[in-house]
Amino acid sequence: MFIIMLLMAAAFIIQLALGYFQIRNFTKTYIELRRKGKVAIGRRPGKFRAGTIVLFAVNNKGDILDAKKMQGVTVFAKFKRLKGFENKNILSINDNDLNNFNKLVRIAVKDAINNYKVIMNGGEIPEKLSVYRRIITKAENFLMAKK
């Protein structure tokens, strides 16, 4: 029993360390793109599938200067260049521009475009609730409805 607990603790520590390196990679890539201009971020979180994050460096006119994506299931995923968006205006990207990409990238790109529109119009991006928070909220609402 002690060995199993020790192995679980070791796996948890390894996961933390690898997660740290992934966050460090995100920060480094974000700073690199931020030096070029504003950064539009889109994501398609993965629950049991690959998650995807898209970063667009955008100038003041909305033209995309650089694009990167991180896609994968594990903490070993790193940012790679996302080709096909350079010199396009972020607001003019349409479904035809996204045909060459997989569904997860398309969703992340659309999220980045939406986030860009909201921020440029002075709005705020609402924080998405975690799975656990949604479960707790549903349970609270269910219990309150019974009263």
What is the SS3 assignment for 125?
A: coil
Beta-carbon contacts of 28 under 8 Å, excluding residues fewer than 6 positions away, are: none
pLDDT at 147: 60
Query: How many structural domains comprise the chain?
Result: 1
Domain residues for the domain of 76 are 2-146
> Average pLDDT, stretch 17-38?
91
pLDDT-above-90 percentage for the chain: 52
Q: What is the pLDDT of residues 56-95, one digit of tens each?
A: 999 999 999 999 999 887 777 889 999 989 999 999 999 8
Q: What is the pTM of this model?
A: 0.79
Q: What is the pLDDT of residues 100-142, one digit of tens each?
A: 999 999 999 999 999 999 998 888 887 777 777 888 888 888 8
Q: How many residues does the chain have?
A: 147
